[in-house]
Amino acid sequence: MPDGIWIKKYLQYADEFGQIDFHSADLKPFESYFEEEFYYLLRNKLDGSYKIQNQVSSCGFRIDFVVINTANGNRIAVECDGPTHFKNEIDEAYGIYVDSDEERQAVLEAAGWDFHRIKYCDWISENYNREKEVKAITEALR
């Protein structure tokens, strides 16, 4: 093969699919636009010392995101609590989670997971500071 053929293939790939995402490992399809928006916020704000995975299986459950600080090995589970996460609008307004989700989180915490939760109703608020979520996650991973 001629010299530089791999560079040509990389440039063709980048032209067709955009930049290669070094922050993820086997990214799975997103379950909502909320998850997708959150992922791209994290990807754009975190440097290469973090790895982002989505739809991670643990203890028979799926975790929306796992963010890993590759420098120290610390990890955190991130849950994006969408509008269907709550029993009804009144529960959402008061932050009441459905029983099965509380039980699921308790099992995962007993297995060693630390959690960070983001509520959809906060996420779509005009005055909401999304970057505070990134800061809270990175601080938890120190």
Annotated domain spans of the chain:
21-140
CATH architecture of the domain formed by 21-140: 3-Layer(aba) Sandwich (3.40)
Count CA atoms closer than 13 A to 102's CA, side-chain side: 7
Q: Tell me the pLDDT tens digit for each residue of 117-134.
A: 999 989 999 999 999 999
Return the pLDDT at 46.
92
**pTM for this structure?**
0.73
Sheet holding 75-81, edge to edge: 50-58, 61-69, 75-81, 115-119
User: Which segments of the chain are extended strands (E)?
Assistant: 50-58, 61-69, 75-81, 115-119
